[in-house]
Chains A and B, each alone.
Chain A
Amino acid sequence: MTTTAPAGTTAPAHQPPSDTTAAPRRRLSLTGGGGLFVLPFLVFFGLFLVWPVVQGIWMSLTDASLSLRDTEFVGFANYTEAFGDPDVWSSLGNTVFFTVISCVPLVLVALAMALLVHSGLAGQWVWRLAYFAPYLLPVTVVTLIWTWLYQPDIGLGNQLLTSLGMEPVGWLSDESVAMWSVAALTVWWTVGFNFLLYLAALQSLPVTYDEAAALDGAGAWRRLWSVTLPQLRHTTVLVAMLQVLASLKVFDQIYILTKGGPNGSTRPILEYVYDVGFTGYRLGYASAVSYVFFAIVIVISVVQLRFFRQEG
């Protein structure tokens, strides 16, 4: 405000100790030093993130239900029940299976698409639109379209198979096929985002290494393998990590497409949480199951971080 203001309010880069010299009083002060800027966010953050997280932990220790009132504290009973619940394990298994069969193509297909588009052939915007457009569709639209493609009698899938002289497939009704059908839909729907991440990475790569290798007589494959792909390693790590976390949280498309059927074969853990909480009215137990799941997600991301750090 006045000419003396900058010294006090800004440029912590020039005087980093300002924060620590005042250390004795560790009180939160949001009114000074730009704290007011953060305040609106903190209100939303506290109300709609911190509170529900804490409340969820509390609920998971009670027998809270949608039918309301006289909630009782039950300690870790919900958690012990969850560990002995075969439905938790089978839906967790489904989630992991889906994650494996969806993540591999979601990374590899995206990489292939980006490399092809980046190779500089004409018509870039057409390819970009074709690959990215499905990502823009709401989940209901995607599932409507694919329910139609998977329709047993006159859907495109079975029409193609029968025209090739093959047996029709129960895309969504056959227990051994249904999860693959869901994964195919998911790859089609979301690969565009990974494709964009790869494309952006490719466009920011320096061409000098590529040129140097070309001058040294390296062929196209050789340069792809020894120059371009290694340069993309960080992007691949990022894409793979984001993708694993996203796939573990699958719910929407499965809920609309199959409601977890046939016979529970496509029910992911989050749908089990939904079923228990909102159809079975056991909010306390649903919270416990979702925190078990959250713990697993954290463990998986830590393991991933470790693994990729060693690789890189």
Chain B
Amino acid sequence: MSAVSTPVRRPRRPRPEQPGSPLLLGHGRLPRVLAGTALTVFAAAWLLPLLWAVATSVQSEQDVMKSGLSPFKGAFTLSAYRQILDRGNVPTWAFNSVLTAALVTALTVAVSTLAAYGFSRGTFRGRRTLLALTVAAIMVPPQLLIVPLFEQMTMFHLVDTYAAVILPQVVAPMMVFILKRFFDGIPRELEDAARIDGASELRVFWSIVLPLSRPIVSAVAIFVFIGAWNNFMWPFIVTNDPDLMTLPVGLATVKDAYGIQYAQSMASALLAALPLIVMFLLFQRRIVNSVATTGLGGT
């Protein structure tokens, strides 16, 4: 994705932090100290479970079971990680997760941007009705569809295939709606100039509208990816073959089989969490800004 290169090109702002509102706290010293303390307490409470898991994952199973409030009760060892990687399933599941999440994201972004452009600029008959249907579909909880979707997959003989995991996740009415609203806001004069020059609709979409929509498209891609990576219920229902499971589903079966092995459980949990944490560190500002651009934030 081109998103990687964008932060480099953008000149660094002179202000190291987003400033917030200094007014909010006034100029007194006491409110600053109080706010700083509250921030730290929250952050500690939110990071503690993660740190506890990290500490647990780098000890032997015996040491973990010793009592005592210290998270670190024994010698440092990576044996839990080694055992997990040796068992071989985790790399397979990680591959499945990356493959399915990437394909879901690519397909969803392609299908949704095209549809949003069609809904925004199209004049075809039935446009309003179809758009209204799409918006109404946002209300349908995905869980409602699990039973009939499973029947459908059985009928198509797709149970235990990548296609079954991927295809139903591509329907994202919310994303179509968000993109359409953004496209609506792009002034049409730019496109009309291109049309007069003889550009086809596809060309206008590809060369004018899409480049202007970079922030919203990458925001949608990020949210679709997070959603697909973390999706549990649907892959859980539609895969039984351990070789086709995604990380969240596979780890749930490990927990059932090795419930007592806490060091290994924590190690596998952290391995599964790592890719998204790294992604967040890379795209942090973009993720935060994207919430604003999707129009979910704001007043």
Q: Interface on A for B, CB 8 Å cutoff?
A: 1-3, 5-6, 8-13, 18-19, 22, 25-38, 40-42, 44-45, 47-53, 55-56, 59, 64, 109, 112-113, 115-134, 136-141, 143-149, 151, 153-154, 156, 159-160, 163, 188, 196-205, 207, 210-211, 214, 219-220, 223-224, 228, 231-232, 234-235, 238, 245, 249, 251-252, 256, 270, 273-274, 277-278, 283, 286-287, 290-291, 293-294, 297-298, 301
Contacts and interface: CB of A to CB of B under 8 A. Distances in A.
B75 interface: no
B262 A34 contact: no
Interface stretch (B6-14, B76-84, B248-256): B248-256
Given A200-B296, A204-B299, 12 more contacts: A5-B195, A34-B122, A35-B122, A49-B145, A133-B280, A138-B230, A144-B255, A148-B53, A159-B67, A200-B297, A249-B143, A291-B144
Q: Which 9 A-B pairs have the closest CB atoms?
A: A200-B297, A34-B122, A37-B118, A41-B115, A120-B20, A35-B124, A33-B123, A33-B124, A38-B118
B123 A12 contact: yes
A103 to B, nearest CB: 16
Interface residues of B, number: 117
Contact of B273 (A31, A49, A130, A136): A136
B247 A140 contact: yes
B111 A41 contact: yes
Contact of A294 (B28, B141, B262): B141
B125 A204 contact: no
A234 B295 CA distance: 12
Given A59-B147, A249-B141, A28 B50 contact: no
Interface of B: 17-26, 28, 31-32, 35-36, 38-39, 42-43, 46-50, 52-53, 56, 64-69, 71, 110-112, 114-115, 117-119, 121-128, 130, 133-134, 137, 139-141, 143-152, 167-168, 170-171, 173, 176, 188, 191-192, 195-196, 198, 200-201, 205, 226, 229-230, 232-233, 237, 247-249, 251-252, 255, 262, 265-266, 268-270, 272-273, 276-277, 279-281, 284, 287-289, 291-292, 296-299
Nearest to A224: B24
A245 to B, nearest CB: 8
